Structure 1
């Protein structure tokens, strides 16, 4: 079929698509559009209407409009004020814009008239099925949208012809102009039907989703409205009862923030959080999180300090009252106070007290706080493995809270407390973060002035906090963390120190706990010494305190069950309260013996003596080491044997002696593990004595490591070892010459009655130890 061309006045429509069989009015205001309408009225009333691609275009050309439009008949033209013309048109036929022949004084379009096709429709039955489906979809859309009147829907569904029904529905349903343009451009009736059904179905789904959202929003608003009303009613009730000041939480927070002494950074953060708090009144969950955060910031002592007491004499008095001995620790604390008094600087030292359990490491921190008039806070780090325990949890997590450091500062109420980090060597590390690394910032005086807790999110000044850390051993503490702390070693107590501590502190404390007085129960010095010596085996006094407590309890029971008024505990009747003695010390041998040497060892509960025994027997040159020895002691024994073989000529040992004899080295108490680098010279002396048959002095003990060439290396734990030697009745002790400095630091109480001989080679050891 040949196409029909027409030349018609054209109006470019903004935001409007006119369909065939559609009667509609629109307003025009552009001069060329008004002139085109007037020209159409003067001719045959035919006009070409096409939609603009963009409603912003003021002077559209052919490229600015869609290619498919509608040929319409102008039915009515009404002039309105402000040069606006209202036009009533009825759409008649689709047309394709092939060109614009004139642009002035109006747009004149060359239009190709288009015919509709129905190639895809097979018969009347299919047409009817399509029409029924379209009516059902239209009815559902009208019911759910509410945008079409019942009369309009009734009129539409009464149309029998599929083509007219499709066109009429496309005209009547309030689609957007771009969606109507797609329907206008589709010439095939079946495809237009499919697009129309798809558009209507999409609209129905959008309406369903929108209604579901509106329902949820309404429920939420209703719930918040109900909560608001109940909250207001509760406020009125409280006011009537006189229980409410009438000030809201937000106002209270603002007042508290205004009075808070804190850096500007903290105040700005508080201001923002209070503003958020006001905006979340309806959301209970978020409101609670922000409330907790604001309260935490307000409770932190940002600029609040305690008045310190820098009186050195008073501090010395307090420390002496609370602790006997511990001179090194006391002196270091007094030095620190003296420096602070002279320089008036706020920086505090970070001390690490290292020593066995029960030696008063924790209690010295409490005494320091009392001496300086600072609040005391103890934080136990034993078993802490989560980095968030130190740095805090981020607020995004459920149940977030500040870290232990920030919590400790908050509980102290000031920014310069004495903060004890107890058991720092018991901290562990796992997949939740490196806890030791988190402590680096806390204990670094160069960084901790702006310590960042993840929960607080603002810097916290820790530079004025006096940190005291305690540890039983330095082995598990990483080197970078040790570098931040000043290490002060607290060694074992002597028997005399334990006696004084018990008399001055432990006995009065236990008497008070059990409700007894000094008139009702008394302890003799010998009884306390015996408790420390034969009923406990420790470096500190914790077990001794328990034994004193046990005696007090038994005495309390005896006083109430008998008519006695006073009980005196002596070394003779002590077993009546505590039973038989638990510990006995292996005393020095009565006479010199071959192959038996007394060694000295350091243990976690103080010092001890080890009697090393060596036997030589015919054999094949085997070396047997028994007594549950560790790898280090086994190596020391082998090193000693190698040294002895190297000097065998000097001691007239036969050349084939070590090939024809077995050597058995044994340390009694075989079930007790033993290890450490301090028994080398002891084992070498015992082996040489057994090999040569020369006796070793019975009143002598020794400690030191040996090298292959016979040099004596220094050892640790000298104080504890000398105490063990003294308890065992030893008179002479051989120590490495390099440990002489340690000997000079020991009190006279420890060294009195001992002949301490420094040695630097095995020749000197053997010269003193062997009986000639």
Structure 2
């Protein structure tokens, strides 16, 4: 027996195992310190101390991470392997406990105290040994992992402590339980503890056996179905499905579970998945079913983004990205405010109507950004097939869901901002009317159960914020227009355009053309000249193109080394954009007879329209030219009839229609013109031509006329006022019933115009004619 205390023994920490006394075991050692400890032991006396570390993941354990009780061990054999590790054969000799711990640079050394055991055996020890052997024998029968030779070896052991150690080493115990056995010095306590552990292992094995029997019975019940499925898979492989569908079906099933779809939809998805499993892959129906299930799993059913209900931040974002457009911004902030109070408001259906280039699409993007929602855009221009909206029936080859469902898949959430661009450009033919299909999409009372022909199941669109854009409301069917909240964006004034250029367009174009802010300087007067003489539009798209042209030429001059800083002024603007395209101010240069400036509303905003009347000897023939539509022709007839009926009061010869042919012409004859707003304009031009009184050049007018001379209200007042302001007119004659529309006109425009409200043609003539007869004209 070794001495009670032994000093400076090399320590070999073990990971995940331990060695009991009298055990002979092979170990593979790879850590550098452990190898040094082995080599030190071999030099000295082949003695080493083995102790188990608490955490197997630590490469260099400290003193606290190693169990105190270990095994005083002798190295029997050591062999270096090709991979650098060392295989060592050790024999446990006696339990020992670490007293002091010294970590050297090469290895760790410990002082240990030997633990002695009581070697005398009494009757109780004998009884415990027999009980242990009996339980060990039962365990071997249940486990069938330990050989009969092992049991025979154990029965030959006479020492009770050694028997407990050997039995414990053969049990699949946790490391802490094995360490507990090692630390138990009293032999009787050790035998009792091993008996307790072996009983626990037996119970676990019995439970495993019962579970196995239950599984076996269940397999017997489902064996027939299992074999049939296996046969079906084999047949499918032979028919062309080389890889089988098992993995794919399992993946689809997982996606169905994760999609968060309602129970009725989930039931449909699983029903189709079962069909897919049974249909051969070579069948055309197989891909149809698979695509359908994939669509159901990729659609958002419950995924919803949280609205950013910060009115100040939303207002800041909208103001930064768009100048003006106060009505639209106010409507968005109202929606946010109500949403914050109720948290349950359905998505409104907004329609931004206005000329091209006024920022309808970019405004929708800004609304999405201010709400912190996903933005989706679909273009409806040229759509003439109902299935583009509602989808195709799955019976058709290449069937797909409609654009609405496709957009929802792209969004990935149930509450995106959904832009329906160019809703006024939809048309219909023999394939159906897509605008009628849009009725359900845009009806807040119906779109919570939208039905797509491909999906077949209802889909909730009520949380979507739909924004439509249109250039011309007249081409949108009435029922569809009724479902939308129309917000008109008429166009921008010159002042607003200048600000837009400074804040948005010019910085954007400078960046896109690789320039720096210091490279290109545009004076405010230069910007104003570009607006007046090189663009004529309600929006700013053409203006942006002109700025791009300036940036291109500036880039060329900078790259060629001609100049590093370019200033564009009104004096050298023509060097960059060429000769002026438009004449600023369409007002006539002098008062003329038979020429009146009318105000028109077009798809590109408000504009001015000259109407000319000339008299020639004839028999009263009324000639209308200028590509006029039916409504304008009727206005001309009404004006002609009114002038005939009031000839005496207007100091016109009653038989003027018998001696003269009257020619009414609207210039730019290649451009179709129609609408009800030219009635008073034509009547004024007729009276001016017949009486010889010139028309005031700075006056523009709009309004419909009746046969009795009453002036009826018209639409598009704001747009027409902007057009008149651009054209340099000073006075606008409007129907009295349009007085309420003046408030919508920007204040900067109102200040530069005088509005004359009339209810009868007499008032129009009083304000439009100079009152001086000019025979020379």
Moved more, 303-312 or 640-649: 640-649
C-alpha separation in 2, matches of 1:718 and 1:493:
14
Does residue 653 of structure 1 match 2:652?
Answer: yes
Q: Is the 8 A contact 1:632 1:675 kept in 2?
A: yes
- Map 1:74-113; keep pairs closer than 5 Å: none
C-alpha separation in 1, matches of 2:624 and 2:352:
37
C-alpha separation in 2, matches of 1:699 and 1:227:
85
Where 2:581 maps in the other structure, the secondary structure is: coil
Partner of 1:313: 312
Q: Over the residues paired in the alignment, what is the CA RMSD in angstroms?
A: 2.3
Where 1:288 maps in the other structure, the secondary structure is: helix
C-alpha separation in 1, matches of 2:695 and 2:644:
19
Does residue 386 of structure 1 match 2:385?
Answer: yes
C-alpha separation in 2, matches of 1:309 and 1:675:
46
Whose Rg is larger? 1
- Map 1:162-177; keep pairs closer than 5 Å: none
Partner of 2:277: 278
Partner of 2:631: 632
Partner of 1:202: none
C-alpha separation in 2, matches of 1:445 and 1:221:
48
CA spacing shift, 1:738–1:562, aligned 2, 3 Å: same
Does residue 376 of structure 1 match 2:379?
Answer: no
Residues 230-283 of structure 1 show CA distances to partners (whole Å, capped at 9, x for unaligned) of: 537xx9xxxxxxxxxxx8222222233333322111111122222223323654
Q: Is the 8 A contact 1:346 1:463 kept in 2?
A: no
Could you state the TM-score of these two structures normalised by the residue count of structure 1? 0.67
CA spacing shift, 1:466–1:655, aligned 2, 3 Å: closer
1:514 Cα deviation after fit: 0.8
Residues 539-578 of structure 1 show CA distances to partners (whole Å, capped at 9, x for unaligned) of: 2111111111111111111110124111112222121111
Where 2:358 maps in the other structure, the secondary structure is: coil
Q: Is the 8 A contact 2:615 2:662 kept in 1?
A: yes
C-alpha separation in 1, matches of 2:625 and 2:390:
49
Partner of 1:560: 559
Partner of 1:575: 574
C-alpha separation in 2, matches of 1:385 and 1:417:
25
Partner of 1:642: 641
CA spacing shift, 1:594–1:265, aligned 2, 3 Å: same
Q: Is the 8 A contact 2:618 2:659 kept in 1?
A: yes
Partner of 2:505: 506
Does residue 481 of structure 1 match 2:493?
Answer: no
CA spacing shift, 1:524–1:295, aligned 2, 3 Å: same
- Map 1:222-237; keep pairs closer than 5 Å: 224-226=236-238, 230-231=242-243
Where 1:464 maps in the other structure, the secondary structure is: coil
- Map 1:191-590; keep pairs closer than 5 Å: 224-226=236-238, 230-231=242-243, 248-280=247-279, 283=282, 285-585=284-584, 587-590=586-589
Q: Is the 8 A contact 1:539 1:604 kept in 2?
A: no
Residues 478-500 of structure 1 show CA distances to partners (whole Å, capped at 9, x for unaligned) of: 22222221111111221222211
CA spacing shift, 1:410–1:744, aligned 2, 3 Å: same
Residues 107-146 of structure 1 show CA distances to partners (whole Å, capped at 9, x for unaligned) of: xxxxxxxxxxxxxxxxxxxxxxxxxxxxxxxxxxxxxxxx
1:400 Cα deviation after fit: 2.0
Does residue 687 of structure 1 match 2:686?
Answer: yes
CA spacing shift, 1:586–1:637, aligned 2, 3 Å: farther
- Map 1:711-726; keep pairs closer than 5 Å: 711-726=710-725
Residues 362-421 of structure 1 show CA distances to partners (whole Å, capped at 9, x for unaligned) of: 111111110001100111111222222222222222222222111111111111111111
Q: Is the 8 A contact 2:448 2:460 kept in 1?
A: yes
CA spacing shift, 1:452–1:756, aligned 2, 3 Å: same
CA spacing shift, 1:373–1:664, aligned 2, 3 Å: same
- Map 1:41-52; keep pairs closer than 5 Å: none
- Map 1:113-192; keep pairs closer than 5 Å: none
Q: Is the 8 A contact 2:389 2:437 kept in 1?
A: yes
C-alpha separation in 1, matches of 2:719 and 2:300:
44
Q: Is the 8 A contact 1:621 1:658 kept in 2?
A: yes
Where 1:576 maps in the other structure, the secondary structure is: helix
Q: Structure 1 regions of 5+ residues with no counterpart?
A: 1-219, 236-246
Does residue 698 of structure 1 match 2:697?
Answer: yes
1:223 Cα deviation after fit: 7.4
Residues 726-762 of structure 1 show CA distances to partners (whole Å, capped at 9, x for unaligned) of: 2333222211111111112212111112111101111
CA spacing shift, 1:528–1:271, aligned 2, 3 Å: same
CA spacing shift, 1:229–1:646, aligned 2, 3 Å: closer
Residues 25-58 of structure 1 show CA distances to partners (whole Å, capped at 9, x for unaligned) of: xxxxxxxxxxxxxxxxxxxxxxxxxxxxxxxxxx
CA spacing shift, 1:767–1:228, aligned 2, 3 Å: closer
C-alpha separation in 1, matches of 2:367 and 2:439:
23
C-alpha separation in 1, matches of 2:433 and 2:618:
55
Could you state the TM-score of these two structures normalised by the residue count of structure 2? 0.66
CA spacing shift, 1:669–1:251, aligned 2, 3 Å: closer
C-alpha separation in 2, matches of 1:248 and 1:641:
82
1:225 Cα deviation after fit: 4.4
CA spacing shift, 1:398–1:638, aligned 2, 3 Å: closer
